[in-house]
Amino acid sequence: MSIHQPCVFCAIIQGHLPATIIHQTDEIIIIQDRAPKAPIHWLVLPKRHIENISALAPDDLHIIGQLMWESKQAAQAYGHTNEFRLLTNNGASVGQSVFHLHFHLLAGTRLNDF
């Protein structure tokens, strides 16, 4: 597993920082966002350090499929919904603050259009 320091998500994955874990597999972890913007606000991320979408390599593509799959599974199993928003910020100018690929999964209320 590729670990980058200092990366807050790698530290969480290694158990060096606390987080509320919703669900995890060998390759994916879903955690509670610390500043939730909806009743359900989780972060879905690969355990392997990938900076963002722009840093994806062809060998990483199966990770994206797993991210989508585990998002769907967790929304159904733990959020009890099939309706959610899944988004990622790719780059600092559009709001990426932690440079370890992660998708925000938002649900549980009517979300604003944007």
**What are the catalytic residues?**
102
Residue 9 binding Zn ion, by CB under 5 A? yes
Q: Does residue 7 touch Zn ion according to CB under 5 A?
A: yes
3 state SS of 13: helix
Minimum CB–partner distance for residue 9 and Zn ion (Å)? 5
| Residue 68 phi, psi dihedral angles, 5° rounding | -65, -45
Binding to Zn ion by residue 10, rule CB under 5 A? yes
Binding mask 35-54 for Zn ion (x = CB under 5 A): --------------x-----
- In this structure, the number of other CB atoms found within 10 A of the CB of residue 111 comes to 13
Measured distance CA(11)–CA(3) in Å, rounded: 9
- Site size with Zn ion, rule: CB under 5 A: 6
